[in-house]
Amino acid sequence: MIIGAEAAFLLPGGFIANIVAIATIVGKDDIVISDELNHASIIDAIKLAQVKNKFIYKHKDMGELEVRLQESVALVKTLQKSGERAPIILIISDGVFSMDGDIAPLPEIVALAKQYGAITMVDDAHGEGVLGQGRGIAHHFNLKGQLDIEVGTLSKAFGVLGGVITGKKELIEYYRQKGRPYLFSTGLSVADTAAVIKGIEILSRSNGLVKKLWSNAKYLRDGFIKLGFDTGQTETPITPVMLGDENLAKEFSAKLLARRVFATPIKYPMVALGKARIRAMPSAVHSKKDLDFGLSAFAAVGKELGVI
């Protein structure tokens, strides 16, 4: 893999990868600490693991994460039984949060994990191929080798399908032997595998596409802001156009489609009620002409619906 991990293995999808990554190593008496805006696959994986000791911290709030870690360390002392291993404390965070486009404060998370003896897992589905010159969030923050578990998907930047778990060789071998969703799943087709390999080759040769992606993202975001749209707290090419009302988001998307612009509404339960938005996703293959076409459609619909 381009992220430079010791070992990796491939699964049919990113959703399954998160389930394998969490439910295979965490038991009922272990402790999980999760960001409140983590992806649905992480939430479901924690449920599947039947973890009794689950803590949720406010989004990117490192003060609250430290409090939860302190509570977890105290809890470990009460849970550990003589002669048995101590319960695991696992901190889980998205790298790039898929609905808002903001980035997890990974250096602080890693530092706190080391301080309190926790292990770290990051879902980098929206960071690989985008951050760190395409190599992901660990490279973005110069944290190569300091994250215990990294999960990625091949259905975002690579445009194919599949999920990946990376980490130490011993951990990956354990996943191969014990990960039930992996053991009882069908592998990728030959065509999908070839497409993934080619995508990795392209990213490994040059970061030109990554630079073009970020250039397009800035152009699009600046265009939205100039028109008067609210793009939230994004720090990445994920560009939300915040609308609030669920029905407004649906109508806005439908009117965009009538103008030959495909941009889906993101609404409850994908985001909190009252936080609906259109999520615009520029790519490296968009030209400025394409982006201008999209911006003009957003402007027309925004004025028609009284958003701007």
Tens digit of each residue's pLDDT (9 = 90 or more) over 41-92: 999 999 999 999 999 999 999 999 999 999 999 999 888 776 678 899 999 9
Percent of the chain with pLDDT over 90: 86
**Which residues, 6+ apart, have CB-to-CB distance to 83 below 8 Å?**
none
Catalytic residue among 126, 267, 275, 286: 126
**Which residues, 6+ apart, have CB-to-CB distance to 47 below 8 Å?**
none
Tens digit of each residue's pLDDT (9 = 90 or more) over 235-292: 999 999 999 999 999 999 999 999 999 999 999 999 999 999 999 999 999 999 999 9
Beta-strand relationship, 239-244 and 53-57: unpaired
Q: What is the mean pLDDT of residues 177-202?
A: 90
pTM for this predicted structure:
0.92
Confirm whether 296 is a catalytic residue. Answer: no
**Domains of the chain with bracketed CATH:** 7-203 (3.40.640.10), 208-304 (3.90.1150.10)
Tens digit of each residue's pLDDT (9 = 90 or more) over 222-238: 999 999 999 999 999 99
Catalytic residue among 60, 140, 156, 275: 156
**Which residues, 6+ apart, have CB-to-CB distance to 10 below 8 Å?**
162, 163, 164, 187, 188, 193
Cα–Cα distances (Å) from 74 to 31, 204, 302, in that order, read 11, 45, 52
Catalytic residue among 34, 41, 72, 98: 98
Confirm whether 169 is a catalytic residue. Answer: no
Confirm whether 126 is a catalytic residue. Answer: yes
Largest CA distance in the chain: 69
Output the pLDDT for position 83: 65
The angle formed by the CA atoms of residues 254, 257 and 259, to the nearest 5 degrees, is: 120
Burial (CB count within 10 angstroms: exposed 0-12, middle 13-18, buried 19+), residue 214: middle
Output the pLDDT for position 73: 95
